[in-house]
Amino acid sequence: MKNLLFLLVLAFAVFSYTGIGRLNDTKKEVTYLHERGGLKYEVNEEKPFTGDYFTYWDVNGKKKKRTSYKDGKSEGIYTEWYVTGQVKEKVKIEDEDEGDWSHTYWYENGQKMSELYSDGYTGKKHYISWFEHNGQKIQEGYYVNKFVDGDWVYHRADGAWVDWYKNGQKKEVTNYKNGEIEGSSTLWYENGQIEQKADYKDGKLNGQVVGWNENGKKMLDENYKNGKLDEHRINN
């Protein structure tokens, strides 16, 4: 029984020392590397570096950039952060041989800015971009060999377009149909005061257009027909 217990303890020690089966084994992290012969090395090391190389923001010590290496070469994983700690950029190569990779940017508020990912099988690169404060798509389409491929989609094409100021105040609500402004359009100042209201038909002003200054005083009152001014009044 004692011999069996001794063997179990010995086996556990070897198992732990070698790291066999270790589920939470983490990569080595360093903050300084130097280059020899096109490969990255730690100081006083002869073996090319494998692990994560970090730089940090001086102002708060938070992570700034991370590059992953394997045997001294970039492993195709790169991350960059804003000084706030929010992720700014990520590059990831899924399959270098097949040509599968992705490149993503974020705004500082955490909203995704753009994403470009490559499908090695089709040879196409799919691109999408978003607005910062509302998360709505701006455009979407494909590239082939750095050239635009096919028809791109611009997401003001149909429905209500909404935009905000950085302080969270609504900036614009405009209705679109088939790529043209249709119906009402309202603009606001950053202080929340309405700046302008206008009516459109088939992309042209058609109906009343009213404008105010930042203090709420009406400054403009006009009427349009099919894009042409029909009546004009200005309040002094």
Residue at token pair 């509302």:
134
The pLDDT of residue 37 is: 93
Structure tokens of 100?
């599968």
Rounded Cα gap, residues 173 and 166, in angstroms = 16
Distance, CA of 122 to CA of 66 (rounded, Å): 30
pLDDT at 23: 37
- How far is residue 215 CA from its own chain's centroid? 36
Hunting for tokens 């404008």 — which residue is that? 211
Residue 194 in contact with residue 200, Cβ under 8 Å? no
Tell me how crowded residue 182 is: count the other CB atoms within 10 A of its CB: 19
Q: What is the mean pLDDT of each run of 10 residues along the chain (236 residues)?
A: 42 38 58 93 94 94 94 91 95 80 93 90 88 80 82 71 80 83 93 95 92 93 91 66
Radius of gyration for the chain, computed over Cα atoms and rounded to the nearest angstrom:
29
User: How confident is the model at residue 234, as a pLDDT?
Assistant: 61
Give me the pLDDT at residue 195, please: 95
Rounded to 10 degrees, the C-alpha dihedral 54/58/64/68 comes to -10
Joined tokens for residue 88: 């700014």
Q: What is the pLDDT of residue 165?
A: 80
